[in-house]
A and B are shown apart, each in its own frame.
Chain A
Amino acid sequence: MRLTQGMFSFLPDLTDDEIAAQVDYFIRNGWAVSIEHTDDPHPRNTYWEMWGQPMFDLGSTRPFMTALAECREAMQSAYIRVTAFDATKGWESPRASFIAHRPTAEDGFALARTSVQGRTQRYGIRADVTDRPTAGRYR
């Protein structure tokens, strides 16, 4: 099941040139660009792990694209997203975020039912992948 989170997620995956063009736009706006990855794609899992430090004050897209390539190489079976953070007073929050890499086989989500207080049912979703131990996720 294709994960749809962040910008552009209903479009075909962005090519490297397209990613670079987006990052170029972020830089021109003075936003700090960072790379994050995770193996738990649950939509409520907002805290992905950082790949290196956020890149403040980038001069061009080249160092970013190099770092992204390194992250993909090391994290082939993870989701990788690019986030642009605007530190301007009044914003102080991410202004853009999109998935830049996804595992070749994407597992879906399961509907989890929990019985509480007699016959009441609570529903939730959990990513299938998180049923497996970390080492076995994303063959």
Chain B
Amino acid sequence: MNAPTPVDEAGPDRIAGPDVVDLGAERRATGIDDYLAGLDARLVGLTPVKQRIDEIAALLLVDRVRTRVGLATGPPTLHMSFTGNPGTGKTTVASAMGEILHRLGYLRSARVVSVTRDDLVGEYIGHTAPKTKDVLQRAAGGVLFIDEAYYLYRPENERDYGQEAIEILLQVMEEQRDDLVVILAGYADRMERFFGSNPGFRSRVAHHIDFPDFDDGELVRIGEMLLADQQYRLSDDARATLFDYVGRRRSQPHFANARSVRNALDRARLRQANRHVTAGTVAVDDLSVIEADDLAVSRVFNDRPDDARESR
């Protein structure tokens, strides 16, 4: 329907009979490099994820060129599963994926529709199919991100409506795979069980991407970037304290990687504000500095991990 138009930089001789295709020029024409560079700077760590994104970008680029020169190309299956612990960037990468696939010309829009079980599965008989179809209509042409996908399947209740949603999803994933990319996300072990009991999903999902945990240094860098977005910064002492905090927090229950860091920093901002208000006056520069004391009062440093439920 919308045939790719020849690109100016590629030179006029290619239309006559191309022997060599300049993939670099093709790539520049999509404008994907700027976006990926921005993403690379924004996403700390996540090396295997970035590598897979690069591979997908390369595949789609080659497919475009193959179509142009008249070689056979089937639409690649791009459904993905993102597995990893909480706070490892699954949702962030999913929303970037819409933009990437759109720029590479695979998807009609960069829209990412993010849903959970509640958005797909109905409450009574006959409610599920319209609900699921409605979501699929909205997501068509873009990315459908299903967070904690394993909740769709409830083996303990054989009359659970989740199965109906799964069947509709599987059908659409097959029929409209050039128009819709489904990304399933969740914790690794439960996703593994989910795929084990739904082989249809496993075979339709081409890319299984595992999100590794961040190490302490990466988490501190993420923290600093989060603060920079809000025009805050850490003092040198505070950076060391945050490093220490991350190391301790990791060994406590309910550790959620970047999300734990974000929560800790939110609380540090509270304490910083309180400290300044108590003091009465504040230097304008200090308004944006988080000091070590703002972090050090956290309960994580109490050495009593047993009562640190969600650390304060």
Identify the A interface with B (CB < 8 A): 17, 20, 53, 55, 57-60, 62-64, 66
A20 CA to B176 CA in the complex, in Å? Answer: 15
Report the bound CA distance from A59 to B141 in whole Å: 5
Q: In whole angstroms, how far apart are the Cα atoms of A109 and B111 in the complex?
A: 48
Given contacts A60-B141, A63-B137, 9 further A-B contacts (CB under 8 A): A53-B130, A55-B137, A57-B137, A57-B138, A59-B109, A60-B108, A60-B180, A63-B133, A66-B175
Interface pair A58/B130, CB less than 8 Å apart: no
Interface flag for B113 (CB, 8 Å): yes
- Residue pair B133, A59 in contact (C-beta under 8 Å): no
Q: How far is the CA of A5 from the CA of B141 in the complex (A)?
A: 31
Please, which residue of chain B has its CB at the minimum distance from the CB of A57?
B138
Q: In the complex, which residues of chain B have a beta carbon less than 8 angstroms from the beta carbon of A60? A: 108-109, 140-142, 179-180
CB <8 Å contact, A58 and B140 = yes
CA distance A14 to B108 in the complex (A): 23
Closest 9 CB pairs of A and B: A60-B141, A59-B140, A60-B140, A59-B141, A63-B137, A62-B179, A57-B138, A60-B108, A63-B140
- Nearest chain B CB to A128 CB, angstrom units: 37
Residues on A with beta carbons closer than 8 Å to the beta carbon of B179: 60, 62
Bitwise interface map of B from 134 to 148 toward A, beta carbon under 8 Å scored 1, else 0: 101111111000000
B284 at the interface (CB under 8 A from A): no
Known contacts A17-B1, A53-B130; A59/B176 CB under 8 A? no
| A64 closest partner in B (C-beta) | B137
Assess whether B176 is in contact with A58, with CB atoms less than 8 Å apart: no
> Are B138 and A58 in contact, with the CB atoms below 8 A?
yes
Chain B 114-156 interface mask (CB, 8 Å, partner A; 1/0): 0000000000000000100110111111100000000000000
Q: How many residues of B contact A (CB 8 A)?
A: 19
Report the bound CA distance from A58 to B111 in whole Å.
11
In the bound complex, residues from chain B placing their C-beta under 8 Å from that of A55 are 137
List of B residues within 8 angstroms of A64 by Cβ:
137
B138→A62 contact, CB < 8 A? no
Q: Which residues of A contact B113 (CB under 8 A)?
A: 59
A53 to B176, CA, bound (A): 20
Q: Which B-chain residue is minimally distant from A53 (CB atoms)? A: B130
Is the pair B130, A62 in contact by a Cβ cutoff of 8 Å? no
| A59 x B130 contact (CB < 8 A) | no
Chain B residues, Cβ within 8 Å of A53: 130, 134
Of residues 94 through 118 on chain B, the ones whose CB sits less than 8 Å from some CB of chain A are: 108-109, 111, 113
Residues of A within 8 A of B108 (CB): 59-60
Which B residue's beta carbon lies closest to that of A24?
B108
Which residue on A lies nearest to B108, using beta carbons?
Answer: A60
Contacts of B134 in A (CB 8 A): 53
CB-CB under 8 A for A62 and B176, given A53-B130, A55-B137: yes
Give A21's nearest chain B residue, CB to CB: B1
CB proximity of A77 to chain B, nearest CB, Å: 26
Show 12 A/B contacts (Cβ-Cβ < 8 Å), sorted by A. Answer: A58-B140, A59-B109, A59-B113, A59-B139, A59-B142, A60-B109, A60-B179, A60-B180, A62-B140, A62-B176, A63-B176, A64-B137
Query: Chain A residues with Cβ under 8 A from B141's Cβ?
Result: 59-60, 62
Docked Cα-Cα span, A128 to B29, in Å, equals 59
Please indicate the chain B residues that have their CB under 8 angstroms from the CB of A59 in the complex.
Answer: 108-109, 111, 113, 137-142, 180
The distance in angstroms between the C-alpha atoms of A98 and B283, with both chains bound, is 67
A20: B residues at CB distance < 8 A:
1
A12 CB to nearest B CB, Å: 19
When chains A and B are docked, how far (Å) is the Cα of A88 from the Cα of B1?
A: 30
* Closest Cβ–Cβ distance, residue A112 to chain B (whole Å): 42
Shortest Cβ distance from residue B37 to the other chain A in the assembled complex, whole angstroms: 28
Q: Which of A53, A58, A59 has the most CB of B within 10 A?
A: A59
By beta carbon, the residue of chain B nearest A62 is: B179
Contacts of B175 in A (CB 8 A): 66
A99 to chain B, nearest CB (A): 22
CB distance from B101 to the nearest CB of A (A): 13
A47 CA to B151 CA, complexed, in Å: 42
CB distance from A106 to the nearest CB of B (A): 30
